Structure 1
């Protein structure tokens, strides 16, 4: 009896072991649908990023549609890749050659709209925002972009990818932050920012490449759990593109991510409204003891998640005077989800009844073969503007916007654009428009007037691209040997310019390493592209200009640069 009592006391005094962080694999699947994609349809995979062409491309791909639908049926969230170009802060230019934040926000939203137009009905789960800044100066713009995606595409799951730790001002942006993207050697000594400690692990994702052995993979997975990464992917692959295959130890990695804890947390209590406005609801609910975070469902669709254990959230961009059904699920550290709490009906307040004026003088200030620049007269009490094309939502813009570039159009096609104003109360103006715009049809050769000059310490290239290419390439053969470098169009390219980036050829095939320095893109006015790179060891050499993407692939003749 005494022994049993001592054992019981010992048991009560021994603190319970800490719950283990459960992981799901989150994979940048930068390869074509096929056998590798089929291996992603596994319960251990939580997120897959689709990336047909550094974005959605312009045309529907039935192979991608089938792969996305199959992954969705297996419980995988498939995200579409969208670049944000660090909002131009590094000099990165949009397809139209602009580097200001508004141009990048517009291009990103247009890529989002294209993803949903092409693959929304096939199970697209949300958007992966790449090339994200990590300092508070840019947090407001990314918050606007995230909110716009979710307001125009209810239920969209979003990931932001700064690739490094962010400041805490990013904690409410996106559903997941990708805060590590580097080598295994770097990961061994890396630590997440202090503010992330104690947050829900399913808010963070780590990508670890150049992880050569299964033993190193297992150690990286262990460190990921220790550092609170609920999503992770480890691969032996290395730059320039470490995401173009799956690792040989794929099955072992799936096994390493699993946790023995499959018991769901307790069901949370019903929500109650703390504050009701015309376009937002602040909600709270009784806390669940074993919760690491909560997911909020609006009319049966998951629309938001908390960053941690605090049982409260504010939902924004709601319709005024509308009744919603709201419920909450709890998530524990292992990633298990509870049953949904009892659904509660909550209504937003009515709008103030005074809609803003319609934007005035909607016009096209520039029309090109694949783009148009819209402008309008600002509305004094507008909180933002919505742009639609042919009746489909395209952009949600801040109040200080009265002009926007629209890219990715088809040559020789007629479009109808409208713009409406929204006020802070949720009222929407009558639409301005439709404004009918017809893009011109190009004639002649796709790429003309290719030139190159060596002048002192720089080399300058220029060419006229007469079709709406997504990718504008300059291939440079600096050693005159077609057997070295990347074989293309009769030369062996040792260097490559792609849009606003400069690369050196490494290894074999399509293998490129970035060349450090400023963007080589000087301008792209009127579809005349001009690039400038340091001369370095570049002497007289041969060059081919190339266009690819949404237009048929095209090459210029070989030119000699002296």
Structure 2
């Protein structure tokens, strides 16, 4: 999901779920749906000021200084602090993540960790983000789980770095393959992230043939929901762009909930960068609708 460059295309498989207009309700004990937004703009842009004004606030916002390769300087830190002060529908604060890229497990771990340090190791010694959004993630385990272990090492690095700075902070790591991910990435003891973006594509693909049939897969079971690997209801995040209007935004959010996502973002913004402006219906309309689901 690099700014202005990438939106992962999924190969069609499986039937489309029935779509309804009304907000679906979760069964007892099931978590609802929250909005999580990639904001690939500069500090002070209308998109982030819109996010700061949204009621309820988005649960997660990703900030992206030149694909994570530029310093997270004072202007970015101030923007992150302002977003983190907002209150979500669940009563928590917005979690801000810093963007890094990995080139499908081919970028050197040292280079990725240097990008992570841009966000976590600031001059004032304080945390201005809650964690890291890891992009261009391999969806396959790799030979001998080599790709899985590459991302596990990065997660552990974030955990150790955050804990050394402020042990009271519960860090958040997101991996973005942009499509269903091999379930080895969620294996107990080897889990590479708290949350995985398992769909990133257009509304037409989301409601047409682009949904593969599940958030995770393996060679035996094929694609499946991943619910058994998601006890908190926060493991999966769906990103949908090119949404025609507010009615279709409702459909996208309802569909995300039905497909097991804990986080979602739907926008009418389009390629080459579908994450650089607020949706025409405004953030509050989306976060408010999501808060009704579940």
Q: TM-score, normalised by structure 1?
A: 0.39
What does residue 497 of structure 1 align with? none
What does residue 375 of structure 1 align with? none
What does residue 196 of structure 1 align with? 226
SS in 2 for 1:85: coil
What does residue 104 of structure 1 align with? 108
1:250-329 → structure 2 map (5 Å cutoff): 250=282, 251-259=284-292
Q: CA RMSD in A?
A: 2.1
After superposition, the Cα gap between the structure-2 partners of 1:73 and 1:59, relative to the gap in structure 1 and judged at 3 Å, is closer
- Contact 2:47/2:276, CA 8 A, preserved across alignment: no
Give the C-alpha shift of residue 131 in structure 1: 0.3
* d(CA) in 1 for partners of 2:272, 2:138: 21
| Larger radius of gyration between Structure 1 and Structure 2 | 1
What does residue 79 of structure 1 align with? 97
What does residue 161 of structure 1 align with? 176
Give the C-alpha shift of residue 152 in structure 1: 2.1
1:52-71 → structure 2 map (5 Å cutoff): 52-58=65-71, 60=73, 62-71=74-83
Q: Is 1:178 matched with 2:178?
A: no
What does residue 125 of structure 1 align with? 130
1:456-475 → structure 2 map (5 Å cutoff): none
* d(CA) in 2 for partners of 1:105, 1:156: 19
- Contact 1:26/1:46, CA 8 A, preserved across alignment: yes
What does residue 273 of structure 2 align with? 241
Give the C-alpha shift of residue 17 in structure 1: 7.5
Unpaired runs of at least 5, structure 1: 1-15, 89-102, 261-333, 335-562
What does residue 150 of structure 1 align with? 159
Give the C-alpha shift of residue 21 in structure 1: 4.6
Q: Is 1:40 matched with 2:73?
A: no
Greater share of helix = 2
- Contact 2:141/2:148, CA 8 A, preserved across alignment: yes
* d(CA) in 1 for partners of 2:75, 2:158: 25
* d(CA) in 1 for partners of 2:79, 2:153: 30
After superposition, the Cα gap between the structure-2 partners of 1:17 and 1:218, relative to the gap in structure 1 and judged at 3 Å, is closer
What does residue 166 of structure 2 align with? none
Q: TM-score, normalised by structure 2?
A: 0.73
What does residue 238 of structure 2 align with? 206
SS in 1 for 2:104: helix
Greater share of strand = 1
Q: Is 1:22 matched with 2:22?
A: no
* d(CA) in 2 for partners of 1:159, 1:186: 23
Kindly indicate whether structure 1 or structure 2 has the higher relative contact order, using CA contacts under 8 Å at least 6 residues apart: 2
Instruction: Extract structure 1 runs of 4+ deviating beyond 4 A.
Output: none
- Contact 1:21/1:226, CA 8 A, preserved across alignment: no
* d(CA) in 2 for partners of 1:104, 1:159: 19
Give the C-alpha shift of residue 59 in structure 1: 6.2
* d(CA) in 2 for partners of 1:236, 1:84: 27
* d(CA) in 1 for partners of 2:183, 2:127: 35
* d(CA) in 1 for partners of 2:102, 2:248: 32
Comparing 146-155 and 193-202, the one that deviates more: 193-202
Give the C-alpha shift of residue 234 in structure 1: 0.3
* d(CA) in 1 for partners of 2:47, 2:181: 32
Q: How many residues align?
A: 231
Give the C-alpha shift of residue 123 in structure 1: 2.4
